[in-house]
């Protein structure tokens, strides 16, 4: 918990008065037109520098040369099938990355479009796994102002003219437009999911303009947050003595990014909707048999605002109406002909031809008067199709259907409801923004890092799929064994017995029967082939309803949905350069954001991985690091990811290493499940995933080579640091294993599985003693127990297990002195010895103060890990060190003096600021800091002291397999362990 103020010697405030005249702020201080007190700010004339990418050393290149050759061959093979490899370091985008990003548009999972701080629309991600980074320059807002009877006129695109993509002046395209804004008096203010652009006397010195960009990212609102739409609200304040006729123009190209506008067969169509909403639909026919996309640009007509449209214009001289014609018409009249709104669809575009559309909203602003004009943009792509052919309906279609004309309803509802969105957004953000304990940089960076939940290639589908599709999908990966079992279930409340026959498909069952077979019933053994068959211990029959997100019933053979908790299925990429869905070792860090803001989505992701644990996919895969072959998915192992081109059904797209031998994935699964269970108190979730938790824990026993109850690493990079070799016992994986033993024991107690709790407790006590004996050196935990040159390195992430333990309300893994000593060592060496703490925590540091350069990753600063280490410090009562550590990421990544990574935070950068993998998932770990600082989030109260250390456990415990003891009972009180092995003192 944070107490008092967090003091820093560095700059701690970026007031809007430093960017905007105070009088202008006062004039705009109504209807949310003025930017917030806390925001990320830039002037529009700021230079958008080209970002610098990392490079590997000669020694590192030699070590990875065989991997590079195999990877290059794999990339070429995938390309021959028309697919992009999940990791492709050889192909570079035509558009070099620059420090130009801003708040992205839209909700989650329906495709995204980013908007730079200077106004350009870029980074189109409307097809899964594809990102078109270059800006589409015809997509602009422009303004036309006329005063004094037309004797005084201004016309300009509302973006600085130094953008890339502009041709020569004098042509018929967008170069003929008025690029007259220099941006010197215009500023951008970002507080995700909103952004403000203030034009303080540009282009008209007597007109103050605020453009407020709003997207429906509303925590805990699973409807609005799925919508592919954004609103742009213009507030106009006339400080002059004359009436001003102001016309705002919104232009849009029929393009989904890149050169897609040149492919042909695209059609534009005007529409008039309800409540004065009118605009243009742009029907885009995609290539490669991808689903079509329909854009809608629209404005809202009111008593003061009139709307007109131009359904189609072109960018070349041969067009019927050129971009120059369109601009000249607006400059002269300030509007288009009203007859345009009744025209039918345009003639389809020819290959090489670009169709664009325009919507104009015109109004008169009286002297010293004010006026508001609202535009909306929607993109309707109801189906998402993955490269291997499977298609799904996006989440928003649950509410808007799959018609291409859903875009009309989307822009209408957006223009009608955006004020309600803002109310909810402000209600969510205000307590944090008003918390005087928190540094200002932290407040707006906390919200702005959420950009990734929109820009991270997110896919959110409606889980109501046709039954035949689901059945075929389910059975594609492996042969199906179907068997009949008779089970009985007991309701939690009245314990009424019910006979129920179920069909088991590949081990997926709707109810689990556990107990004696003396009554003649069949016992269903679930999933884990290595589980012990101990028939000596028999408990009275217990039945637990299995409530997976999707259910299978033998009577209908269809998947049924629980509508009350159905939030569909959710995917997000590891990063736009690492195209793998829901990469689990990274989600371990990022998941705090989903748990805090969209907990039902977080639980659904965990359910997906719980089901995956019990799957086996025997298709052969070549692992590129060593060149060996293995099977795609091993039963009992948590998958690295949910796939790339066939998510959910072809998992483990990552093929550098065999991740079934990784040591961190299974413990991370157990830790996340327990944290989510403790935070939500959702007993049905706990019951759903419990067999997978047990299977994941038992799978790890094979890595205890010497029967000391502690897992060992195998001399290769067998964890999330996948170029950093580990030997023997490691601080990172060993600590995660200790934490997972404690979490599994605590969860077993809550679910009544006392035998499994005793088993985990016994392992924990023995493993902890070995861990401390082998790794604790008096001030921190060594990197590993091997004898390599870096075995005594100070790893910044050495206490990852303790981080989750404390975040979940469980007792500390180690005594407080050791925890604080290790974190202080990390702070003194990994943080403060690198540029005075101004760049984050380097992953590895030798105890002599030199950076560990064993490999590329040991010498990198990982942004998400730095946030996690900061959270760990806060949990340990080291708030000052925690905020200073995290502030390094802000200074190096987000500040004006930094490296320009705002809204594209990379996985890592070198000590000189060169990035690796932009727009990455892990930096969402900043929300673990908020989790650490807020009031306790767990609904399950852990023991007040670590009773685990005090209970004498017999050296040999006979433990019945979880497949037979299962979930015995649900604790009667969510906040009490009851009569448990922990002997809760509450």
* Residue ranges in 558-682 assigned as alpha helix (H): 584-597, 599-613, 665-680
Q: pLDDT band for 984, please (50, 70, 90 cuts).
A: very low
Helix (H) or strand (E) holding 71: helix 65-80
**Could you report the per-residue pLDDT of 212-255, keeping only the tens digit for each?**
999 999 999 999 999 999 999 999 999 999 999 999 999 999 99
Residue 521 in this model has a pLDDT that exceeds 70: no
Report whether 128 contacts 457 (CB < 8 A): yes
Q: Are strands 356-365 and 305-313 parallel, antiparallel or unpaired?
A: antiparallel
Domain match, 934 and 946 both = no
Q: pLDDT band for 164, please (50, 70, 90 cuts).
A: low
Q: pLDDT band for 262, please (50, 70, 90 cuts).
A: confident
- Which one of 416, 442, 461 terminates a domain? 461
Domain match, 614 and 478 both = no
Domain match, 801 and 906 both = yes
**Could you report the per-residue pLDDT of 268-284, keeping only the tens digit for each?**
999 999 999 999 999 99
**Could you report the per-residue pLDDT of 108-123, keeping only the tens digit for each?**
999 999 999 999 999 9
So what's the pLDDT on residue 261?
82
Rounded to two decimals, the pTM is: 0.87
So what's the pLDDT on residue 171?
74
Mean pLDDT, rounded, for 862-867:
98
Residue 936 in this model has a pLDDT that exceeds 90: no
Structural domain including 956 reads 573-775+941-986
Residue 953 in this model has a pLDDT that exceeds 50: no
Domain match, 493 and 354 both = no
Domain match, 266 and 358 both = yes
**Could you report the per-residue pLDDT of 911-926, keeping only the tens digit for each?**
999 999 999 999 999 9
Domain match, 473 and 617 both = no
So what's the pLDDT on residue 4?
47
Higher local confidence (pLDDT), 950 or 648:
648
- Does residue 794 sit within a domain? yes
Q: pLDDT band for 318, please (50, 70, 90 cuts).
A: confident
Distance CA 146, CA 553 (A): 69
Helix (H) or strand (E) holding 63: helix 58-63
**Could you report the per-residue pLDDT of 770-792, keeping only the tens digit for each?**
999 999 999 999 999 999 999 99
Question: Would you give the DSSP letter of residue 598?
Answer: -
Max intra-chain CA distance, the chain = 98
So what's the pLDDT on residue 14?
86
Q: Provide the b/e sequence for 126-143 (b: ≥16 CB within 10 Å).
A: bbbbbbbbbbbbbbbbbb
Domain match, 139 and 256 both = yes
Residue 529 in this model has a pLDDT that exceeds 50: no
- Does residue 97 sit within a domain? no
Distance CA 487, CA 464 (A): 27
Distance CA 23, CA 31 (A): 16
Q: pLDDT band for 973, please (50, 70, 90 cuts).
A: very low
Number of CB atoms found within 10 A of residue 166's CB: 14
Q: pLDDT band for 505, please (50, 70, 90 cuts).
A: very low
Mean pLDDT of the chain: 85
User: How far is the CA of 107 from the CAs of 225, 424, 599, in angstroms?
Assistant: 5, 14, 16
Residue 708 in this model has a pLDDT that exceeds 70: yes
Domain match, 676 and 816 both = no
So what's the pLDDT on residue 976?
37
Report whether 163 contacts 98 (CB < 8 A): no
So what's the pLDDT on residue 150?
75
Domain match, 479 and 607 both = no
Report whether 305 contacts 361 (CB < 8 A): yes
Distance CA 414, CA 275 (A): 12
Mean pLDDT, rounded, for 873-895:
97
So what's the pLDDT on residue 361?
98
Report whether 933 contacts 2 (CB < 8 A): yes
**Could you report the per-residue pLDDT of 537-552, keeping only the tens digit for each?**
333 222 222 222 322 2
Helix (H) or strand (E) holding 503: strand 497-505
- Does residue 23 sit within a domain? no
The C-alpha torsion from 759 through 761 and 763 to 766, rounded to 10°, is -140
Distance CA 527, CA 39 (A): 50
Q: pLDDT band for 801, please (50, 70, 90 cuts).
A: very high
**Could you report the per-residue pLDDT of 558-571, keeping only the tens digit for each?**
222 344 578 999 99
Report the percentage of the chain scoring pLDDT > 70: 82
Mean pLDDT, rounded, for 370-399:
95
Distance CA 180, CA 198 (A): 16
So what's the pLDDT on residue 938?
62
Pick the range with the lowest mean pLDDT from 500-504, 610-614, 848-852: 500-504
Token output for 253: 């190209």
- Angle at the Cα of 604 (from 601 to 608), degrees rounded to 5? 140
Q: pLDDT band for 794, please (50, 70, 90 cuts).
A: very high
Question: Would you give the DSSP letter of residue 638?
Answer: P
- Does residue 280 sit within a domain? yes
Report the percentage of the chain scoring pLDDT > 90: 77
- Does residue 80 sit within a domain? no
So what's the pLDDT on residue 47?
86
Higher local confidence (pLDDT), 967 or 646:
646
So what's the pLDDT on residue 983?
37
- Does residue 233 sit within a domain? yes
Mean pLDDT, rounded, for 316-336:
94
Quickly tell me which residue has 């129920």 as its tokens.
500
- Which one of 939, 954, 969 terminates a domain? 939
Mean pLDDT, rounded, for 588-596:
98
Residue 319 in this model has a pLDDT that exceeds 80: yes
Residue 713 in this model has a pLDDT that exceeds 50: yes
Domain match, 421 and 503 both = no
Angle between helices 665-680 and 731-751 (to 10 degrees): 40
- Does residue 26 sit within a domain? no
Distance CA 986, CA 967 (A): 23
Mean pLDDT, rounded, for 800-822:
97
Number of CB atoms found within 10 A of residue 535's CB: 12
Residue 941 in this model has a pLDDT that exceeds 50: yes
Helix (H) or strand (E) holding 488: strand 482-490
Pick the range with the lowest mean pLDDT from 3-12, 173-182, 456-465: 3-12
Determine phi and psi for 770, rounding to 5 degrees: -65, -45
Domain match, 607 and 737 both = yes
Residue 962 in this model has a pLDDT that exceeds 70: no
**Could you report the per-residue pLDDT of 659-691, keeping only the tens digit for each?**
999 999 999 999 999 999 999 999 999 999 999
- Does residue 84 sit within a domain? no
Domain match, 792 and 895 both = yes
- Which one of 414, 430, 461 terminates a domain? 461
Report whether 127 contacts 259 (CB < 8 A): no
Could you tell me which of 694, 218, 588 has the C-alpha nearest to residue 422?
218
The number of domains in the chain is 4
Q: Which residues pair with 310 in a beta bridge?
A: 358
So what's the pLDDT on residue 944?
39
So what's the pLDDT on residue 777?
98
């Amino acid at each position: 918990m944070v107490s008092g103020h967090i003091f820093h010697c560095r700059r701690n405030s970026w007031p809007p008065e430093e960017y905007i005249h105070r009088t202008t702020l006062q004039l705009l201080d109504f209807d949310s037109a003025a930017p917030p007190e806390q925001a990320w700010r830039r002037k529009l004339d700021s230079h958008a520098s080209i970002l610098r990418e990392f490079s590997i050393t000669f020694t590192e290149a030699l070590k990875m040369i065989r991997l590079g050759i195999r990877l290059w061959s794999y990339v070429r093979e995938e390309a021959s099938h028309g697919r992009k490899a999940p990791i492709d370091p050889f192909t570079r985008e035509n558009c070099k990355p620059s420090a130009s990003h801003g708040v992205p548009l839209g909700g989650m999972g329906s495709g995204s479009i980013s908007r730079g701080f200077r106004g350009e629309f870029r980074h189109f991600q409307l097809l899964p796994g594809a990102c078109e980074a270059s800006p589409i320059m015809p997509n602009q807002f422009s303004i036309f102002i006329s005063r004094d009877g037309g004797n005084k006129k201004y016309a300009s695109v509302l973006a600085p003219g130094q953008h890339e993509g502009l041709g020569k002046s004098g042509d018929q395209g967008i170069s003929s437009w008025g690029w007259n804004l220099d941006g010197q008096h215009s500023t951008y203010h970002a507080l995700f999911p909103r952004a403000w652009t203030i034009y303080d006397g540009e282009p008209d010195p007597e007109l103050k303009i605020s453009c407020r960009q709003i997207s429906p990212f509303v925590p805990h609102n699973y409807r609005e947050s799925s919508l592919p739409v954004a609103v742009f609200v213009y507030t106009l304040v006339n400080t002059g003595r004359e009436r001003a006729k102001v016309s705002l123009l919104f232009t849009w190209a029929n393009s989904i990014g890149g050169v897609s506008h040149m492919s042909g067969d695209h059609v534009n169509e005007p529409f008039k909707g309800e409540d004065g909403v009118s605009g243009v639909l742009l029907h885009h026919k995609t290539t490669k048999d991808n689903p079509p996309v329909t854009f809608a640009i629209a404005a809202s007509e009111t008593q003061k605002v009139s709307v007109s449209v131009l359904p189609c214009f072109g960018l070349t001289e041969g067009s019927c109406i050129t971009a120059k014609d369109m601009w000249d018409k607006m400059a002269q009249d300030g509007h288009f002909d009203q007859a345009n709104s009744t025209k039918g669809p345009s003639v389809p575009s020819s290959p090489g031809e670009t169709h664009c559309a325009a919507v104009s909203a015109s109004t008169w602003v009286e002297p010293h008067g004010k006026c508001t004009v609202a535009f909306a943009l929607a993109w309707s792509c109801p189906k998402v199709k993955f490269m291997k052919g499977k298609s799904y309906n996006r989440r928003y279609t649950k509410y808007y259907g799959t018609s291409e004309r859903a875009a009309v309803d989307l822009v209408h509802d957006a223009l009608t409801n955006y004020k309600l969105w803002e109310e909810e957004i402000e209600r969510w953000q205000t307590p944090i923004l008003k918390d005087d304990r928190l540094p200002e940089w932290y407040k707006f960076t906390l919200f702005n890092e959420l950009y990734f939940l929109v820009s991270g290639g997110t896919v959110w589908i409606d889980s109501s799929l046709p039954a035949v599709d689901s059945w075929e999908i389910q059975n594609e990966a492996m042969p199906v064994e179907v068997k009949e079992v008779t089970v009985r279930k007991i309701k939690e409340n009245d314990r009424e017995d019910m006979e129920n026959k179920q069909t088991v498909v590949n081990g997926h069952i709707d109810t689990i029967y556990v107990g004696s077979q003396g009554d003649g019933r069949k016992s269903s053994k679930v999933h884990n082939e290595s589980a012990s068959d101990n028939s000596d211990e028999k408990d009275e029959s217990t039945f637990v309803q299995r409530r997976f997100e999707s259910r299978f019933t033998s009577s209908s053979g269809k998947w049924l949905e629980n509508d009350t908790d159905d939030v569909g299925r959710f995917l997000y990429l590891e990063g736009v350069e690492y195209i793998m869905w829901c990469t689990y070792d990274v989600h371990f860090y990022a998941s705090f954001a989903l748990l805090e803001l969209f907990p039902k989505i977080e639980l659904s992701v965990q359910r997906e991985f719980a089901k995956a644990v019990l799957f086996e996919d025997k298709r052969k895969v070549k692992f590129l690091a060593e060149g060996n072959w293995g099977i795609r998915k091993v039963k009992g192992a948590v998958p690295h990811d949910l796939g790339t081109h066939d998510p959910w059904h072809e998992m483990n797209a990552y093929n550098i290493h065999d991740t079934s031998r990784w040591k961190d994935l299974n413990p991370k699964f157990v830790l996340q499940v327990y944290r989510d269970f403790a935070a939500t108190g959702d007993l049905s979730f706990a019951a759903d995933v419990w067999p997978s938790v047990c299977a994941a824990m038992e799978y790890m026993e094979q890595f205890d080579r010497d029967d000391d109850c502690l897992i060992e690493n195998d001399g290769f990079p067998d964890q999330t640091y996948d170029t950093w070799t580990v030997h023997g016992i490691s601080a990172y994986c060993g600590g995660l294993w200790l934490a997972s033993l404690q979490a599994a024991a605590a969860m077993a107690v809550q679910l009544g599985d006392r035998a499994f709790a005793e088993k985990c407790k016994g392992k924990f006590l023995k493993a902890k003693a070995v861990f401390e004996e082998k790794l604790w050196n008096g001030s921190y935990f060594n990197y590993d127990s091997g004898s390599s040159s870096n075995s005594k390195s100070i790893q910044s992430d050495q206490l990852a297990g303790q981080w989750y333990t404390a975040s979940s309300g469980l007792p500390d893994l180690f005594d407080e002195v050791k925890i604080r000593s290790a974190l202080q060592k990390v702070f003194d060496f990994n943080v403060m010895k690198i540029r005075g703490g101004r760049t984050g925590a380097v992953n590895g540091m030798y105890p002599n103060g030199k950076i560990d350069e064993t490999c590329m990753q040991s010498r990198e600063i990982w942004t998400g890990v730095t946030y996690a280490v900061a959270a760990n410090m806060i949990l340990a009562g080291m708030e000052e060190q925690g905020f200073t550590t995290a502030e390094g990421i802000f200074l190096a990544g987000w500040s004006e003096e930094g490296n320009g990574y705002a809204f594209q935070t990379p996985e890592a950068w070198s000590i000189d600021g060169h990035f690796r993998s932009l727009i990455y998932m892990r930096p969402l770990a900043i929300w673990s800091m908020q989790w650490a600082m807020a009031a306790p989030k767990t609904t399950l109260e852990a023991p007040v002291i670590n009773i685990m250390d005090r209970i004498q456990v017999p050296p040999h415990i006979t433990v019945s397999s979880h497949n037979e003891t299962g979930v015995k009972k649900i604790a009667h009180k969510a906040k009490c362990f009851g009569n448990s092995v922990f002997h809760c003192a509450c």
